[in-house]
A and B are shown apart, each in its own frame.
Chain A
Protein backbone atom coordinates (compact mmCIF):
# COMPACT_ATOMS: atom_id res chain seq x y z
CA UNK A 1 0.00 0.00 0.00
CA UNK A 2 1.23 3.45 -0.83
CA UNK A 3 1.66 5.51 2.26
CA UNK A 4 5.16 6.70 1.54
CA UNK A 5 6.76 8.87 -1.09
CA UNK A 6 6.70 12.26 0.56
CA UNK A 7 9.02 14.98 -0.66
CA UNK A 8 10.57 15.94 2.66
CA UNK A 9 11.75 19.36 1.62
CA UNK A 10 8.24 20.37 0.66
CA UNK A 11 6.86 18.81 3.84
CA UNK A 12 9.29 20.71 6.06
CA UNK A 13 8.30 23.93 4.41
CA UNK A 14 4.61 23.16 4.96
CA UNK A 15 5.26 22.33 8.61
CA UNK A 16 7.05 25.63 9.12
CA UNK A 17 4.28 27.60 7.46
CA UNK A 18 1.63 25.71 9.44
CA UNK A 19 3.50 26.39 12.68
CA UNK A 20 3.21 30.08 11.89
CA UNK A 21 -0.57 29.67 11.62
CA UNK A 22 -0.97 29.12 7.87
CA UNK A 23 -4.14 27.01 7.70
CA UNK A 24 -3.80 26.38 3.95
CA UNK A 25 -0.35 24.90 4.51
CA UNK A 26 -1.73 22.69 7.25
CA UNK A 27 -4.52 21.49 4.95
CA UNK A 28 -1.90 20.52 2.37
CA UNK A 29 0.12 18.80 5.06
CA UNK A 30 -2.91 16.82 6.19
CA UNK A 31 -3.61 15.89 2.58
CA UNK A 32 -0.15 14.29 2.44
CA UNK A 33 -0.81 12.16 5.50
CA UNK A 34 -4.55 11.58 5.67
CA UNK A 35 -4.39 8.03 4.26
CA UNK A 36 -1.89 6.76 6.78
CA UNK A 37 -3.52 8.72 9.59
CA UNK A 38 -6.92 7.21 8.85
CA UNK A 39 -5.57 3.68 8.50
CA UNK A 40 -3.61 4.00 11.71
CA UNK A 41 -6.81 5.07 13.45
CA UNK A 42 -8.57 2.07 11.89
CA UNK A 43 -6.09 -0.33 13.47
CA UNK A 44 -7.10 0.92 16.91
CA UNK A 45 -10.77 1.72 16.37
CA UNK A 46 -13.99 -0.20 16.62
CA UNK A 47 -15.41 1.02 13.33
CA UNK A 48 -14.49 3.13 10.30
CA UNK A 49 -16.82 5.84 11.57
CA UNK A 50 -14.98 5.91 14.89
CA UNK A 51 -11.66 5.92 13.07
CA UNK A 52 -12.78 8.88 10.99
CA UNK A 53 -13.83 10.80 14.08
CA UNK A 54 -10.62 9.93 15.89
CA UNK A 55 -8.42 10.88 12.94
CA UNK A 56 -10.25 14.15 12.41
CA UNK A 57 -10.12 15.11 16.06
CA UNK A 58 -6.45 14.16 16.24
CA UNK A 59 -5.64 16.31 13.22
CA UNK A 60 -7.33 19.25 14.91
CA UNK A 61 -5.39 18.57 18.10
CA UNK A 62 -2.20 18.43 16.07
CA UNK A 63 -3.03 21.82 14.56
CA UNK A 64 -3.40 23.26 18.05
CA UNK A 65 -0.22 21.54 19.20
CA UNK A 66 1.91 22.66 16.25
CA UNK A 67 3.56 25.52 18.16
CA UNK A 68 5.02 22.86 20.46
CA UNK A 69 6.27 20.73 17.56
CA UNK A 70 10.08 20.64 17.55
CA UNK A 71 11.35 22.29 14.35
CA UNK A 72 13.23 19.88 12.10
CA UNK A 73 11.87 16.75 13.79
CA UNK A 74 10.11 14.17 11.58
CA UNK A 75 6.48 15.19 11.30
CA UNK A 76 4.75 11.90 10.49
CA UNK A 77 5.68 9.96 13.66
CA UNK A 78 4.59 12.95 15.74
CA UNK A 79 1.26 13.08 13.91
CA UNK A 80 0.67 9.34 14.09
CA UNK A 81 1.31 9.37 17.82
CA UNK A 82 -1.48 11.91 18.24
CA UNK A 83 -3.81 9.92 15.97
CA UNK A 84 -3.14 6.64 17.78
CA UNK A 85 -3.56 8.28 21.19
CA UNK A 86 -6.88 9.77 20.18
CA UNK A 87 -8.16 6.50 18.73
CA UNK A 88 -7.05 4.52 21.79
CA UNK A 89 -8.57 6.93 24.26
CA UNK A 90 -11.89 6.86 22.38
CA UNK A 91 -11.93 3.08 22.43
CA UNK A 92 -11.23 3.10 26.16
CA UNK A 93 -14.07 5.56 26.74
CA UNK A 94 -16.44 3.66 24.49
CA UNK A 95 -15.49 0.35 26.11
CA UNK A 96 -17.67 1.31 29.02
CA UNK A 97 -20.68 1.40 26.76
CA UNK A 98 -22.38 -1.63 25.30
CA UNK A 99 -23.12 -2.11 21.65
CA UNK A 100 -21.75 -3.05 18.31
CA UNK A 101 -21.04 -1.42 15.05
CA UNK A 102 -19.77 -2.83 11.80
CA UNK A 103 -18.99 -1.08 8.60
CA UNK A 104 -17.21 -1.14 5.31
CA UNK A 105 -14.87 -3.94 4.56
CA UNK A 106 -14.07 -5.37 1.19
CA UNK A 107 -11.90 -7.66 -0.84
CA UNK A 108 -10.03 -6.34 -3.77
CA UNK A 109 -10.37 -8.19 -7.07
CA UNK A 110 -7.56 -10.46 -8.19
CA UNK A 111 -4.73 -8.77 -9.93
CA UNK A 112 -4.98 -8.89 -13.70
CA UNK A 113 -2.57 -11.17 -15.51
CA UNK A 114 -1.90 -13.45 -12.58
CA UNK A 115 -1.61 -17.05 -13.79
CA UNK A 116 -4.52 -19.11 -12.38
CA UNK A 117 -2.32 -21.67 -10.63
CA UNK A 118 -0.25 -19.00 -8.94
CA UNK A 119 -3.40 -17.15 -7.98
CA UNK A 120 -4.77 -20.20 -6.22
CA UNK A 121 -1.55 -20.74 -4.30
CA UNK A 122 -1.28 -17.10 -3.29
CA UNK A 123 -4.91 -17.06 -2.24
CA UNK A 124 -4.51 -20.10 -0.02
CA UNK A 125 -1.33 -18.75 1.52
CA UNK A 126 -2.91 -15.38 2.23
CA UNK A 127 -5.98 -17.03 3.74
CA UNK A 128 -3.79 -18.98 6.15
CA UNK A 129 -1.79 -15.87 6.92
CA UNK A 130 -4.85 -13.72 7.55
CA UNK A 131 -6.30 -16.42 9.76
CA UNK A 132 -3.14 -16.66 11.82
CA UNK A 133 -2.92 -12.89 12.14
CA UNK A 134 -6.56 -12.58 13.16
CA UNK A 135 -6.05 -15.26 15.81
CA UNK A 136 -3.14 -13.43 17.49
CA UNK A 137 -3.59 -11.50 20.69
CA UNK A 138 -4.53 -7.90 20.07
CA UNK A 139 -1.15 -6.61 21.21
CA UNK A 140 0.67 -8.80 18.66
CA UNK A 141 -1.80 -8.16 15.88
CA UNK A 142 -1.59 -4.40 16.33
CA UNK A 143 2.18 -4.20 16.12
CA UNK A 144 2.29 -6.43 13.03
CA UNK A 145 -0.53 -4.50 11.37
CA UNK A 146 1.18 -1.17 11.89
CA UNK A 147 4.59 -2.42 10.89
CA UNK A 148 3.71 -4.58 7.88
CA UNK A 149 0.12 -4.07 6.70
CA UNK A 150 0.53 -0.29 6.92
CA UNK A 151 4.28 -0.49 6.37
CA UNK A 152 5.07 2.10 9.02
CA UNK A 153 8.72 2.51 9.93
CA UNK A 154 9.96 1.34 13.32
CA UNK A 155 10.03 4.94 14.48
CA UNK A 156 6.45 5.54 13.34
CA UNK A 157 5.26 2.28 14.87
CA UNK A 158 6.94 3.20 18.14
CA UNK A 159 5.27 6.61 18.07
CA UNK A 160 1.85 5.08 17.40
CA UNK A 161 2.27 2.57 20.20
CA UNK A 162 3.85 5.02 22.60
CA UNK A 163 6.95 2.90 23.15
CA UNK A 164 10.62 2.82 22.19
CA UNK A 165 11.99 1.54 18.90
CA UNK A 166 13.73 -1.28 20.72
CA UNK A 167 10.41 -2.33 22.20
CA UNK A 168 8.87 -2.39 18.73
CA UNK A 169 11.69 -4.67 17.53
CA UNK A 170 11.18 -7.11 20.37
CA UNK A 171 7.40 -7.04 20.14
CA UNK A 172 7.53 -7.64 16.39
CA UNK A 173 9.95 -10.49 16.85
CA UNK A 174 7.82 -12.18 19.50
CA UNK A 175 4.63 -11.65 17.48
CA UNK A 176 6.23 -13.15 14.36
CA UNK A 177 7.41 -16.12 16.37
CA UNK A 178 3.94 -16.71 17.80
CA UNK A 179 2.46 -16.40 14.34
CA UNK A 180 4.90 -18.89 12.87
CA UNK A 181 4.18 -21.31 15.67
CA UNK A 182 0.42 -21.06 15.20
CA UNK A 183 0.75 -21.53 11.45
CA UNK A 184 2.94 -24.61 11.92
CA UNK A 185 0.44 -26.06 14.39
CA UNK A 186 -2.39 -25.41 11.95
CA UNK A 187 -0.66 -27.38 9.16
Chain B
Protein backbone atom coordinates (compact mmCIF):
# COMPACT_ATOMS: atom_id res chain seq x y z
CA UNK B 1 0.00 0.00 0.00
CA UNK B 2 1.42 3.40 -0.97
CA UNK B 3 1.31 6.45 1.26
CA UNK B 4 -1.43 7.94 -0.93
CA UNK B 5 -3.53 4.82 -0.61
CA UNK B 6 -3.02 4.78 3.13
CA UNK B 7 -4.09 8.42 3.32
CA UNK B 8 -7.29 7.61 1.43
CA UNK B 9 -7.96 4.66 3.71
CA UNK B 10 -7.47 6.82 6.79
CA UNK B 11 -9.89 9.43 5.46
CA UNK B 12 -12.43 6.66 4.89
CA UNK B 13 -11.81 5.37 8.40
CA UNK B 14 -12.59 8.86 9.67
CA UNK B 15 -16.12 8.30 8.40
CA UNK B 16 -16.36 5.08 10.41
CA UNK B 17 -15.55 6.69 13.73
CA UNK B 18 -18.81 7.79 15.29
CA UNK B 19 -17.67 10.83 17.21
CA UNK B 20 -19.66 11.78 20.27
CA UNK B 21 -22.33 14.32 19.37
CA UNK B 22 -21.02 17.86 19.40
CA UNK B 23 -22.44 19.77 22.36
CA UNK B 24 -24.05 23.16 21.86
CA UNK B 25 -20.82 25.07 22.35
CA UNK B 26 -22.05 28.20 20.59
CA UNK B 27 -25.07 28.43 22.88
CA UNK B 28 -23.00 27.76 25.99
CA UNK B 29 -20.36 30.31 25.04
CA UNK B 30 -22.98 32.94 24.18
CA UNK B 31 -24.67 32.36 27.52
CA UNK B 32 -21.37 32.73 29.40
CA UNK B 33 -20.52 35.92 27.53
CA UNK B 34 -23.97 37.34 28.23
CA UNK B 35 -23.79 36.36 31.88
CA UNK B 36 -20.22 37.19 32.75
CA UNK B 37 -19.14 39.69 30.13
CA UNK B 38 -15.54 38.55 30.09
CA UNK B 39 -15.86 35.04 31.52
CA UNK B 40 -13.54 33.57 34.10
CA UNK B 41 -11.88 30.20 33.47
CA UNK B 42 -13.64 27.25 35.04
CA UNK B 43 -12.07 24.11 36.42
CA UNK B 44 -13.68 20.73 36.74
CA UNK B 45 -13.11 19.49 40.22
CA UNK B 46 -14.64 16.06 39.78
CA UNK B 47 -13.32 14.85 36.46
CA UNK B 48 -10.11 12.91 36.65
CA UNK B 49 -8.30 12.17 33.46
CA UNK B 50 -6.06 9.76 31.70
CA UNK B 51 -3.07 10.28 29.50
CA UNK B 52 -3.74 12.31 26.33
CA UNK B 53 -5.64 11.01 23.36
CA UNK B 54 -7.32 8.26 25.31
CA UNK B 55 -10.63 9.11 23.72
CA UNK B 56 -9.19 8.67 20.28
CA UNK B 57 -7.61 5.38 21.27
CA UNK B 58 -10.93 4.22 22.69
CA UNK B 59 -12.76 5.31 19.58
CA UNK B 60 -10.39 3.22 17.54
CA UNK B 61 -10.65 0.28 19.90
CA UNK B 62 -14.40 0.45 19.59
CA UNK B 63 -14.13 0.48 15.83
CA UNK B 64 -12.04 -2.67 16.07
CA UNK B 65 -14.15 -4.29 18.75
CA UNK B 66 -17.38 -3.34 17.06
CA UNK B 67 -16.25 -4.78 13.78
CA UNK B 68 -15.22 -7.96 15.54
CA UNK B 69 -18.17 -8.37 17.86
CA UNK B 70 -21.21 -6.70 16.44
CA UNK B 71 -23.29 -8.87 14.10
CA UNK B 72 -22.76 -8.88 10.34
CA UNK B 73 -22.99 -5.67 8.37
CA UNK B 74 -22.94 -3.74 11.64
CA UNK B 75 -26.65 -3.14 11.56
CA UNK B 76 -26.49 -2.96 15.33
CA UNK B 77 -25.26 0.19 16.95
CA UNK B 78 -23.21 -0.14 20.08
CA UNK B 79 -23.06 2.82 22.42
CA UNK B 80 -21.02 2.92 25.56
CA UNK B 81 -21.56 5.74 27.95
CA UNK B 82 -19.94 6.07 31.32
CA UNK B 83 -19.87 8.49 34.17
CA UNK B 84 -16.50 8.96 35.80
CA UNK B 85 -15.88 5.30 35.08
CA UNK B 86 -18.07 4.12 37.91
CA UNK B 87 -21.10 3.08 35.96
CA UNK B 88 -21.31 2.42 32.28
CA UNK B 89 -24.30 2.30 30.01
CA UNK B 90 -24.08 -0.02 27.04
CA UNK B 91 -26.65 -0.14 24.28
CA UNK B 92 -27.16 -3.62 22.91
CA UNK B 93 -29.53 -4.94 20.22
CA UNK B 94 -31.16 -7.34 22.69
CA UNK B 95 -31.05 -7.74 26.45
CA UNK B 96 -29.70 -11.05 27.72
CA UNK B 97 -31.88 -13.08 30.05
CA UNK B 98 -31.92 -11.90 33.63
CA UNK B 99 -34.07 -12.40 36.65
CA UNK B 100 -36.48 -9.54 37.16
CA UNK B 101 -35.61 -8.35 40.57
CA UNK B 102 -36.47 -5.89 43.20
CA UNK B 103 -34.81 -2.68 44.06
CA UNK B 104 -34.64 -4.11 47.57
CA UNK B 105 -32.26 -6.83 46.45
CA UNK B 106 -29.59 -8.07 48.82
CA UNK B 107 -26.97 -6.00 46.98
CA UNK B 108 -28.35 -2.90 48.66
CA UNK B 109 -26.90 -4.11 51.97
CA UNK B 110 -28.16 -4.12 55.52
CA UNK B 111 -30.71 -1.78 56.96
CA UNK B 112 -29.25 1.01 59.11
CA UNK B 113 -30.23 4.41 60.42
CA UNK B 114 -29.35 7.50 58.44
CA UNK B 115 -26.96 8.58 61.19
CA UNK B 116 -25.25 5.17 61.13
CA UNK B 117 -24.87 5.32 57.36
CA UNK B 118 -23.37 8.80 57.56
CA UNK B 119 -20.87 7.67 60.14
CA UNK B 120 -19.91 4.60 58.14
CA UNK B 121 -18.87 6.18 54.84
CA UNK B 122 -16.33 8.86 53.96
CA UNK B 123 -18.58 10.76 51.53
CA UNK B 124 -21.50 13.00 52.44
CA UNK B 125 -24.85 11.19 52.48
CA UNK B 126 -27.25 13.67 50.95
CA UNK B 127 -31.01 13.64 51.31
CA UNK B 128 -33.33 15.00 48.61
CA UNK B 129 -35.56 17.58 50.26
CA UNK B 130 -38.11 16.93 47.51
CA UNK B 131 -38.69 13.49 49.06
CA UNK B 132 -37.97 14.26 52.69
CA UNK B 133 -36.36 11.93 55.24
CA UNK B 134 -35.95 8.40 53.84
CA UNK B 135 -38.21 5.74 55.38
CA UNK B 136 -35.45 3.17 54.89
CA UNK B 137 -31.65 3.38 54.59
CA UNK B 138 -29.35 0.59 53.42
CA UNK B 139 -25.57 0.33 53.76
CA UNK B 140 -23.58 -1.94 51.47
CA UNK B 141 -19.91 -2.85 51.74
CA UNK B 142 -19.69 -4.53 48.35
CA UNK B 143 -17.91 -1.49 46.98
CA UNK B 144 -14.71 -0.14 48.42
CA UNK B 145 -15.80 2.93 50.34
CA UNK B 146 -19.34 1.62 50.77
CA UNK B 147 -22.64 2.52 49.19
CA UNK B 148 -25.68 4.04 50.83
CA UNK B 149 -29.20 3.67 49.44
CA UNK B 150 -32.17 5.74 50.51
CA UNK B 151 -35.42 3.88 49.84
CA UNK B 152 -38.76 5.57 49.44
CA UNK B 153 -41.15 2.63 49.17
CA UNK B 154 -41.28 1.24 45.68
CA UNK B 155 -41.20 4.63 44.01
CA UNK B 156 -37.67 5.89 44.50
CA UNK B 157 -34.28 4.48 45.45
CA UNK B 158 -31.26 6.78 45.60
CA UNK B 159 -27.85 5.13 45.86
CA UNK B 160 -24.64 7.05 46.62
CA UNK B 161 -21.11 5.66 46.42
CA UNK B 162 -17.55 6.78 45.98
CA UNK B 163 -16.02 5.36 42.84
CA UNK B 164 -12.47 4.12 42.85
CA UNK B 165 -11.58 4.73 39.24
CA UNK B 166 -12.58 1.45 37.64
CA UNK B 167 -16.10 0.73 36.43
CA UNK B 168 -18.05 -1.37 38.87
CA UNK B 169 -21.38 -1.66 37.14
CA UNK B 170 -22.76 -1.78 33.66
CA UNK B 171 -26.26 -1.13 32.52
CA UNK B 172 -27.43 -2.80 29.36
CA UNK B 173 -30.13 -0.96 27.51
CA UNK B 174 -32.07 -2.28 24.55
CA UNK B 175 -33.28 -0.35 21.53
CA UNK B 176 -36.46 0.76 23.31
CA UNK B 177 -34.65 2.44 26.18
CA UNK B 178 -33.98 6.11 25.65
CA UNK B 179 -30.74 7.56 26.97
CA UNK B 180 -30.97 11.31 27.55
CA UNK B 181 -27.87 13.34 28.35
CA UNK B 182 -28.62 16.04 30.87
CA UNK B 183 -27.02 17.83 33.82
CA UNK B 184 -27.54 18.04 37.56
CA UNK B 185 -26.14 21.21 39.12
CA UNK B 186 -23.73 21.51 36.22
CA UNK B 187 -22.58 17.88 36.41
CA UNK B 188 -23.13 15.61 33.39
CA UNK B 189 -25.93 13.12 33.90
CA UNK B 190 -27.67 10.34 32.01
CA UNK B 191 -31.37 9.60 32.22
CA UNK B 192 -32.49 6.15 31.10
CA UNK B 193 -36.14 5.62 30.35
CA UNK B 194 -38.61 3.80 28.12
CA UNK B 195 -38.04 0.10 28.80
CA UNK B 196 -36.57 -2.19 31.44
CA UNK B 197 -32.79 -2.36 31.49
CA UNK B 198 -30.35 -4.82 32.90
CA UNK B 199 -27.93 -4.02 35.70
CA UNK B 200 -24.75 -6.05 35.84
CA UNK B 201 -22.14 -5.80 38.55
CA UNK B 202 -18.52 -6.04 37.45
CA UNK B 203 -15.67 -7.52 39.38
CA UNK B 204 -12.41 -5.66 39.92
CA UNK B 205 -11.09 -6.59 36.51
CA UNK B 206 -14.25 -5.43 34.78
CA UNK B 207 -15.63 -8.92 34.20
CA UNK B 208 -19.43 -9.11 34.57
CA UNK B 209 -20.60 -10.99 37.63
CA UNK B 210 -23.61 -12.62 36.08
CA UNK B 211 -25.20 -13.78 39.29
CA UNK B 212 -26.11 -10.24 40.14
CA UNK B 213 -27.58 -9.35 36.75
CA UNK B 214 -31.07 -7.98 37.28
CA UNK B 215 -33.69 -6.15 35.35
CA UNK B 216 -34.50 -2.64 36.45
CA UNK B 217 -38.04 -1.68 35.61
CA UNK B 218 -37.71 1.96 36.51
CA UNK B 219 -36.30 5.15 35.11
CA UNK B 220 -32.72 5.75 36.14
CA UNK B 221 -30.82 9.00 36.58
CA UNK B 222 -27.02 8.63 36.85
CA UNK B 223 -24.62 11.41 37.68
CA UNK B 224 -21.35 12.14 39.46
CA UNK B 225 -20.60 15.12 41.62
CA UNK B 226 -17.65 15.80 43.84
CA UNK B 227 -16.21 12.33 43.33
CA UNK B 228 -19.45 10.69 44.44
CA UNK B 229 -21.66 8.70 42.10
CA UNK B 230 -25.45 8.94 42.35
CA UNK B 231 -27.97 6.47 40.95
CA UNK B 232 -31.63 7.38 41.27
CA UNK B 233 -34.07 4.65 40.29
CA UNK B 234 -37.47 6.24 40.15
CA UNK B 235 -40.97 6.02 38.83
CA UNK B 236 -40.77 9.75 38.07
CA UNK B 237 -40.05 11.09 34.60
CA UNK B 238 -37.06 13.20 33.61
CA UNK B 239 -38.41 16.40 35.12
CA UNK B 240 -39.34 14.72 38.38
CA UNK B 241 -36.02 12.90 38.59
CA UNK B 242 -34.11 16.12 38.03
CA UNK B 243 -36.20 17.89 40.66
CA UNK B 244 -35.31 15.15 43.15
CA UNK B 245 -31.62 15.25 42.25
CA UNK B 246 -31.46 19.03 42.38
CA UNK B 247 -33.04 19.06 45.82
CA UNK B 248 -30.14 17.13 47.38
CA UNK B 249 -28.84 18.82 50.51
CA UNK B 250 -26.17 19.73 51.19
CA UNK B 251 -25.76 20.53 47.50
CA UNK B 252 -23.38 18.24 45.63
Chain A interface residues toward B at CB < 8 A: 1, 23-24, 26-28, 30-31, 34-35, 37-39, 42-53, 55-57, 59-61, 63-64, 88, 90-91, 94-95, 97-110, 116, 119, 122-127, 129-131, 133-134, 138, 141-142, 144-145, 148-151, 173, 176-177, 179-180, 183
Residue among A52, A53, A173 with the most chain B CB within 10 A? A52
Number of A-B residue pairs at CB separation under 8 A: 249
A105 lies within 8 A of B15 (CB): no
A145 lies within 8 A of B56 (CB): yes
In-complex Cβ contact of A127 among B7, B49, B53, B64 (8 A): B64
Complex: chain A residue closest to B6, CB-CB: A176
Chain B residues near A138: list those with CB within 8 A. 51-53
B70 lies within 8 A of A107 (CB): yes
**CA distance in complex: A24, B34 (Å):** 10
A105 lies within 8 A of B59 (CB): yes
In-complex Cβ contact of A56 among B7, B25, B60, B84 (8 A): B25
User: With contacts A97-B48, A126-B16 known, what are 5 further pairs, Cβ within 8 A?
Assistant: A30-B25, A64-B39, A109-B77, A145-B53, A151-B11
**Chain A proximity of B126: nearest CB distance (Å):** 22
Residue among B20, B39, B64 with the most chain A CB within 10 A? B20
Chain B residues near A97: list those with CB within 8 A. 48-49
Chain B residues near A50: list those with CB within 8 A. 44, 47, 49
A108 lies within 8 A of B18 (CB): yes
Complex: chain A residue closest to B81, CB-CB: A104
17 CB-based A-B contacts, threshold 8 Å: A23-B33, A27-B29, A39-B22, A43-B55, A45-B54, A46-B51, A51-B55, A56-B25, A91-B52, A94-B48, A97-B48, A99-B85, A99-B165, A104-B81, A106-B79, A127-B64, A129-B13
